[in-house]
Amino acid sequence: MLRKVVIFAISLFLIVGAVIGVVALVQPHQKGSDGENEAGNISASMKIANQLCQPSDYKEACTKTLSSVNSTDPKEFVKHALLAASDAVTKSFNFSEELIVKASKDKREKMALDDCKELLDYAVQELQASMSMVGDSDLHTTNNRVAELQSWLSAVLAYQETCVDGFDDKSTIKPIIQQGFVNASQLTDNVLAIISGLSDFLKSMGLQFNIPSNSRRLLAEDGFPTWFSGADRKLLAAQDNGKVKPNAVVAQDGSGQFKTISAAIAAYPNKLKGRYIIYVKAGTYREYVTIDKKKPNVFIYGDGPRKTIVTGSKSFAKDGLGTWKTATFGNN
């Protein structure tokens, strides 16, 4: 009897051992933190991340950002990169607010920090608009709007650079701001590189959307910027042919509805659908035109660069204003 029990126990041990061996063989390898599994093979998602980050100047930061994406959908990688950039710029915005509180009584530094806060707020808005576009669109639509995304992301980088340029070279705050922007600048640059190389990436995956190739050519065959929409091209072509009907006419001699461009912009109708077209007749207009962000579809044209002139003379030396505040035309 004892012998049977021993034989049964040994048999059971061998069976359990065999089952454990089978389980060990079929157990999938776990993904490591660096995108590799235990066998050293790079996961499919990490391969996509590496390929998307190829055009980037900051590949290490790029792949680190995308390494946590558990998907093979390219759009998810773009969304994740945008979110990372937005978070970084938001931190820079909060950092600038902290510096404003701690700022010295130096008028120029205080003014430069106020400008930074405003500029970074615009940058966050551009990134949020980019995320909304990518999130609400399918892959085909996203790729057809690459030029628009490039424009927004380039603006984000420009806002950061303008913020830094607002400080005097001798400022003790300037290097602090520059250092605080390193991560935000790199992550924004990475998203721009990913977006710019998206068409080539999709072609390498066998997806053909007939997207215009990304090049440095700024003007199309019709002479208009390549990022202009079809509607804007038609509008400009109609203006060249004298067939545009303006919503508002500005003339210094009183022959129009308004005597200043600013007055015409102030008359922008609420809840307007479509373009608000302003025709500015020949003359020299000494004013500073600011277009509010709540007026997104303003189109202004005149009688030519030597006939319709808008000019100003603001400066830091004379008015105590930073470069950001001296623009003849600007948005807010």
For 245, phi then psi, to 5°, come to -105, 110
**How many other C-beta atoms are found inside a 10 Å radius of the C-beta of residue 2?**
6
Per-residue pLDDT, 35: 53
Q: pLDDT band for position 10 (50/70/90)?
A: very low
Instruction: Report d(CA 246, CA 292) in Å as an integer.
Output: 19
Per-residue pLDDT, 237: 73
Share of the chain above pLDDT 90, in %: 39
Q: What is the mean pLDDT of the chain?
A: 79
126-140: per-residue pLDDT in tens? 999 999 988 877 766
Rank 15-29, 137-151, 187-201, 213-227 by mean pLDDT and report only the highest. Answer: 187-201
Instruction: Report d(CA 41, CA 53) in Å as an integer.
Output: 19
**Structure tokens, 250:** 């500005």
Contact 113, 103 (CB under 8 A): yes
Per-residue pLDDT, 258: 98
Per-residue pLDDT, 242: 65
**pLDDT higher than 70, residue 18:** no
CATH ID of 44-204, from 3.40.640.10, 3.90.380.10, 1.20.140.40, 1.10.3720.10: 1.20.140.40
DSSP codes of every residue in 253-267: TS-SSBSSHHHHHHT
Q: Where are the alpha helices (DSSP H) in the chain?
A: 2-26, 44-52, 59-66, 74-102, 107-136, 139-144, 146-165, 174-196, 198-204, 230-240, 261-266, 316-319
Contact 322, 112 (CB under 8 A): yes
Residues of the chain with CATH 1.20.140.40: 44-204
Per-residue pLDDT, 280: 96
Instruction: Report d(CA 97, CA 114) in Å as an integer.
Output: 8
229-277: per-residue pLDDT in tens? 667 777 777 766 667 789 999 999 999 999 999 999 999 998 888 889 9
Query: What residue type is assigned to position 66 of the chain?
Result: L
More confidently predicted of 83 and 225: 83
Q: pLDDT band for position 25 (50/70/90)?
A: very low
Report CA Rg, the chain.
29
286-322: per-residue pLDDT in tens? 999 989 888 888 989 999 889 999 998 877 667 667 6
More confidently predicted of 156 and 208: 156
Share of the chain above pLDDT 70, in %: 74
- Say how many Å lie between the first and final Cα of the chain, rounded: 94
157-212: per-residue pLDDT in tens? 999 999 998 888 888 889 999 999 999 999 999 999 999 888 787 777 665 544 44
**pLDDT higher than 70, residue 37:** no
95-106: per-residue pLDDT in tens? 888 887 776 677
- Check the CA dihedral 324-325-330-332 and report its sign: positive
